[in-house]
Structure 1
Amino acid sequence: MAEQTGRFDGIIEFVEAARLGSFTAAGNLLGVTNSAIGKSVTRLEARLGTKLLHRTTRKLTLTNEGEAYFESCLGIMDQLESVETSLATGRATPLGRVRLDLPAAFGRRHILPILNALSLQYARLDFSVNFSERTADIIAEGIDLAIRIGALGDHADLVAKRLGTQRLMICAAPSYLSRHGQPTELAELSRRDCFGGWRRNQRPGWLIKDAAGNTAFEEIRVRHEFSDGEAMVSAALAGCGLCQLPTWLIGDHLRSGSLVSVLESFSGAEMPIHALWPRSRYMQPKLRVVIDAVTKAALAANSGFDM
């Protein structure tokens, strides 16, 4: 049993030293000397067979391996604290840090207000949020919850919950259409100024709904590429070309007339919206409360988040 307990020696000392950037500060916090903290971390490194901290006379910094280990330790400690609190109080209290990976425009518009409300409701619930169109590796990057738009691959180690569907429309500003005319057939998309998402080693194209109601891929001529939907809207409003965007992003502009729907018989292709999180036997209250709030917001809309 003593050997089993020894497996966890030095973790608290390492976490506090890494968090505070100093053996002395960690020692003051834990009530021991800075040399005792340093020795504990050194023994931990020896047991793991890797260097966790770069040591200088001025401060401590994490190595790449140390960064990964530090994030894992924080997650485990958050989970332990959450379980202990629920046992002590008889209820599950959301506390700790939730790491989220969100599509940029969608995350800012639909998810960020939910997180802000939860932050006001739960004083010990913290968030680290990344807004990006890059598909992050949820497990490898220590992400607690991600929102994905589009078809999902096979992820046996993840749980997926469908939140809704986004509907795509092709549109342009009246100023662009007055200069170049209304497109009337799909073949024109190979000659027009079109906006596309930032793609690497992929053919540029849009999802088109054909006469039978099926979704097909149509290649386009991409003049401008943007990694953010809001930037695409801005370029469209300026009259720079044609774009395909979800109705939740351009609905107000379509209603005001600042953008005009074109090729309507080919519009309406849909993409699913999912929440994904790592599969686990125990879901921490901090994650459960976020998933519940996001799900509730999706159900409050007519068809998920497609508003």
Structure 2
Amino acid sequence: MDQFSAMQSFRRVVEHGSFSAAAALAGQSHTVLSRQVKNLERQLGSQLLNRTTRRLQLTEAGALFYRHCVQILDQMEAMTLELSEHQQQPSGTLRLSVSSAFGELELGHWLPGFVERFTGLQIELSCTDRFVDMLDEGIDLCLRVTDHLPDSSLVARTLAPSEVILVAAASYLKRLPTAITADNLGEHPLLGYNRLAQPQRLQLVGPSGSQREVLMPNRVSANSPMALRAAAIGGLGIASFDRFIVHDALLDGRLVQLLPDWQQPARTLYALYPQSRYLAPKVRALLDYLQDYYRDPRWLM
């Protein structure tokens, strides 16, 4: 007996509720399907279905066998598709959504290499700071740096940690009568990202593990991290950023990190994509490429 074929037949019978419906779907005869299921029962030594003139009902053994059938058949199908796709060169249009700051500061480092490797792909890029409805907008992959993912059916693959730091321009610091400390931080204006629920509030953890919440005055607020970055470089106050946003400005001295011994809640770079039994080759190619690129820390001083 072809046990794999018999398992497929049994699954069809269970999911379609009758031998007749399953036979019609598979293009087989009622007799063949019935014989396959009976042979399965004989081989397993258990009755799988209770048959009446009106309906079929799974026995306890049948329900257990059905669950294992689904797992095994799905794994076989996934393996077959994956092996087939492994031979395919990713092609078509890849629709990618990223935040505005990430798009401006990070894509130039890795996207050219990805496009050069996969010449059959066309990239359609959407830069926005809102969480997109990936299914409704036809997005294949979304990259977000966040400390909170909304409950959804999306799959989230972790790519890299993202440290959050306090910074200010040297020109701002030179105007101060005293150095900035954790104790006087609340006297200084915070350049606030107004998409946050509390844009003027910071949560800090000290070197000894002590926690502190600081409410800071508002001087400039904006809905754009890049606008706040420009304001910080211009000396308008203190700002809190993911390190990747200010990494180059720290390296060339336009900004200075403040209170390095005090930590803020870390964030994470995620790759988000719709949950599916199979991943299209183009999506898998980008996921693997990003996983490899961000395997080593990218934003260290």
- TM-score class, shorter-chain normalisation, is 0.5 to 0.7
For 1:287, the equivalent position in structure 2 comes to: 283
How far apart, CA to CA, are the structure 1 residues paired with 2:88 and 2:224? 37
CA separation of 1:122 and 1:251: change in aligned 2, threshold 3 A: closer
Pick from 240, 250, 254: which aligns with 1:254? Answer: 250
Determine whether 1:188 maps to 2:192: no
For 2:267, the equivalent position in structure 1 comes to: 271
Structure 2 letter corresponding to 1:94: P
How far apart, CA to CA, are the structure 2 residues paired with 1:157 and 1:216? 35
**CA-CA distance at 1:278 after TM superposition:** 0.3
For 2:112, the equivalent position in structure 1 comes to: 116
Moved over 6 A (4+): none
Determine whether 1:240 maps to 2:236: yes
CA separation of 1:108 and 1:295: change in aligned 2, threshold 3 A: farther
**CA-CA distance at 1:214 after TM superposition:** 7.2
CA separation of 1:264 and 1:113: change in aligned 2, threshold 3 A: closer
Report % sequence identity: 25
**CA-CA distance at 1:162 after TM superposition:** 0.6
Pick from 92, 95, 101: which aligns with 1:99? Answer: 95
Determine whether 1:297 maps to 2:293: yes
CA deviations 1:68-107 (Å, max 9, x no partner) are xxxxxxxxxxxxxxx99x96x9822211111111122223
For 2:218, the equivalent position in structure 1 comes to: 222
Q: How many residues align?
A: 219
How far apart, CA to CA, are the structure 2 residues paired with 1:95 and 1:272? 29
Determine whether 1:160 maps to 2:156: yes
Give the TM-score taking structure 1 as reference length: 0.62
Determine whether 1:130 maps to 2:126: yes
Structure 1 letter corresponding to 2:236: C
CA deviations 1:94-142 (Å, max 9, x no partner) are 1111111112222333234433323233333111111122222223322
Structure 2 letter corresponding to 1:259: L
The root-mean-square deviation of aligned C-alpha atoms, in Å, is 2.9
Using the TM superposition, name which of 226-235 and 197-206 deviates more: 197-206
